[in-house]
Chains A and B, each alone.
Chain A
Amino acid sequence: MPEYEKEIVKVSEGKRKNSFMNNDTPFCITGIEPLDQKLGGGIPQGNSVLVVGSSGSGKTTFCMQYLTNGAKQGERGVFFTITEPLFKLTKNMENFKFYDKKLIEDGMVNIIDLRIISDRLGLNVEKYSVEDASALLEVLKDIADELQVKRLVIDSITALCYRLESDEMIRDFIFKLGSSLASMGCTTLLTSEIPPVMVGDLKYSKYGIEEFIADGIIYLSDIDRKGDLIRTMQVVKMRGTSHSRSKVAMNISSDRGIEIITLLKSRG
């Protein structure tokens, strides 16, 4: 077997321990091989990672691929959506080969619409009070515990915070969410919607606080090359790993989902 393949197998086995942390914290393999290699094996288990990007940048696809890859390795996951109705989300995902309906039927990937949960709890779906937000957090935690999930996604933290009435409530909610996620022990992806940014005006979240509860930030964006948009991905932060912070080119295809490759950087 060629050397490069041996290295790939080593990473995909998921048995490598986290040498950067010098402890036994294992990795949560995203299944996107070059990304796992960049992270030295994957996302450290138990980390909460903010997946940041503007509309159409691939946040939902990335998260769903992460969950399905985990399910295929026997790790149960849950996807909480508040931005898209379930039927629309699953219909979009059916275009991807990585998506396997059976994983949902078998309960390995669970997709839950937070608006339906809120409705059943008798909460105002459009605006949450302090009590509503706390109740919702408890429900999230209960569902994750009951399903014994190893991977959790909230799509999106921005839409969730949008339903809170004041900046203070948002701060409070985000910090409570951070402590809840830390106590759950599962590896979490939180999507963060931002408008397309101008150079030098980079923000990772709408409220400017989401990134502080996150152990990692994965930033999805575009670069303009003579009028063509090239998708990019950048690991800005990932606690517990010694990772590259270089921007890489990203491709999304129905056959392979998300793939990454070195970004060509020369300019004339």
Chain B
Amino acid sequence: MENTLIQGLKERIANAVMVNPSVGIILPGNNYKDLTQAIFQHMNETQNKTYIYVAIAKPFHIVKKEMDGIVDSSAFFFIDCVSRAAGIHMTDPQCFFLDSPSHLEQLILEIVNIIKDQDKKSDSVVILDAISSLVLYNDELLVTEFFTHLINNMNLYHAHTISLCLEEEMTDQMNKMLYLINDKIIKVKESFI
């Protein structure tokens, strides 16, 4: 039987994404796994979209493993920001491996290049898992600047973004950034369970 929490999260995400180009999701670490499962299920139900999954909190091969059995990820694009920096040297035709999570300009370029290469009839959705993890490798003002540029670029190409943000990694600056730049914020509270 499907977990009620995951089902609830999935519905909130689906409703938010339907009307808002950029959606931020703030959640406690305890609910991180539930949220990613809800996102995978949402991706499974909207396979007509071009998904670009940016792995920041964990490497691509872990994300891919977690997707197994929930969603067929063979048509998705992945950008792994952390494997190379962690000394994990693997290659996969489905994934672009960034040398370092501090190469934020290159991250924007790679996302934009994937979108440009797509059939314009299908909507592109960029999932940042998790934007808050970028603060581990970059100054928070730089992350804010990155996020602003990314969202501006996504607006240009009519692409959507879903940005995950772990409550434990949040700073005041991150909080301001998420609320100011995103069109919609979903705040997941432990009391929601």
Question: B67-75, B86-94, B105-113: which one contacts chain A?
Answer: B105-113
Interface assignment of B118: CB less than 8 Å from any CB of chain A: no
User: Is the CB–CB distance between A266 and B105 below 8 Å?
Assistant: no
User: Is the CB–CB distance between A264 and B99 below 8 Å?
Assistant: no
User: Is the CB–CB distance between B102 and A261 below 8 Å?
Assistant: no
Chain B residue at smallest Cβ distance from A226: B102
User: Is the CB–CB distance between B103 and A264 below 8 Å?
Assistant: no
**Nearest Cβ distance between residue A206 and chain B, in whole angstroms?**
29
Chain A residue at smallest Cβ distance from B173: A268
**Nearest Cβ distance between residue B79 and chain A, in whole angstroms?**
13
User: Is the CB–CB distance between A267 and B139 below 8 Å?
Assistant: yes
Indicate whether A228 sits within 8 Å of B106 (C-beta atoms), given known contacts A264-B149, A266-B139, A266-B145. no
Q: Which B residues are within 8 Å of any A CB, using their own CB?
A: 99-100, 102-106, 108-109, 112-113, 137-142, 144-146, 149, 156
- For B113, what are the chain A residues with a Cβ–Cβ distance below 8 Å? 256, 259
User: Is the CB–CB distance between B149 and A230 below 8 Å?
Assistant: no
User: Is the CB–CB distance between A264 and B146 below 8 Å?
Assistant: yes
User: Is the CB–CB distance between B109 and A267 below 8 Å?
Assistant: no
Interface assignment of A263: CB less than 8 Å from any CB of chain B: yes
Q: Which of B106, B112, B137, B146 counts the most chain A CB atoms within 10 A?
A: B106
User: Is the CB–CB distance between A225 and B109 below 8 Å?
Assistant: no
Which residues of chain A in 210-268 are interfacial with respect to chain B, using CB atoms and an 8 Å cutoff? 225-226, 228, 230, 249, 251, 256, 259, 261-268
Chain B residue at smallest Cβ distance from A225: B102
Interface assignment of A87: CB less than 8 Å from any CB of chain B: no
- For B106, what are the chain A residues with a Cβ–Cβ distance below 8 Å? 249, 251
26 contacts between A and B (CB under 8 A): A2-B156, A225-B102, A226-B102, A226-B137, A228-B100, A228-B103, A230-B105, A249-B105, A251-B106, A256-B113, A259-B113, A261-B105, A261-B108, A261-B109, A262-B149, A264-B104, A264-B142, A264-B145, A264-B149, A265-B145, A266-B141, A267-B139, A267-B141, A267-B142, A268-B141, A268-B142
How far is B112's CA from A259's CA once the two chains are assembled, in angstroms? 12
**Nearest Cβ distance between residue B123 and chain A, in whole angstroms?**
14
How far is B148's CA from A195's CA once the two chains are assembled, in angstroms? 34
How far is B52's CA from A158's CA once the two chains are assembled, in angstroms? 44
Picked from A2, A251, A268, the residue with its CB within 8 Å of the CB of B105 is A251
Task: Kindly list 12 other residue pairs between chains A and B, CB separation below 8 angstroms, not including A228-B103, A268-B140, A268-B141.
Answer: A2-B156, A4-B156, A225-B138, A226-B137, A226-B138, A230-B105, A251-B109, A256-B113, A264-B145, A264-B146, A266-B141, A267-B141
How far is B99's CA from A224's CA once the two chains are assembled, in angstroms? 14
- For A230, what are the chain B residues with a Cβ–Cβ distance below 8 Å? 102-103, 105
How far is B146's CA from A268's CA once the two chains are assembled, in angstroms? 13
- For A256, what are the chain B residues with a Cβ–Cβ distance below 8 Å? 113
User: Is the CB–CB distance between A228 and B99 below 8 Å?
Assistant: yes
How far is B108's CA from A249's CA once the two chains are assembled, in angstroms? 11
**Nearest Cβ distance between residue A259 and chain B, in whole angstroms?**
6
Chain A residue at smallest Cβ distance from B104: A264
- For B104, what are the chain A residues with a Cβ–Cβ distance below 8 Å? 264
How far is B144's CA from A225's CA once the two chains are assembled, in angstroms? 16
**Nearest Cβ distance between residue B28 and chain A, in whole angstroms?**
26
Which residues of chain A in 1-29 are interfacial with respect to chain B, using CB atoms and an 8 Å cutoff? 2, 4
User: Is the CB–CB distance between A266 and B142 below 8 Å?
Assistant: yes
Which residues of chain A in 108-144 are interfacial with respect to chain B, using CB atoms and an 8 Å cutoff? none
Chain B residue at smallest Cβ distance from A267: B139
- For A262, what are the chain B residues with a Cβ–Cβ distance below 8 Å? 105, 149
**Nearest Cβ distance between residue A255 and chain B, in whole angstroms?**
8
Nearest first, the 7 A-B pairs at minimum CB distance are A268-B139, A249-B105, A266-B141, A266-B145, A266-B142, A228-B100, A228-B102
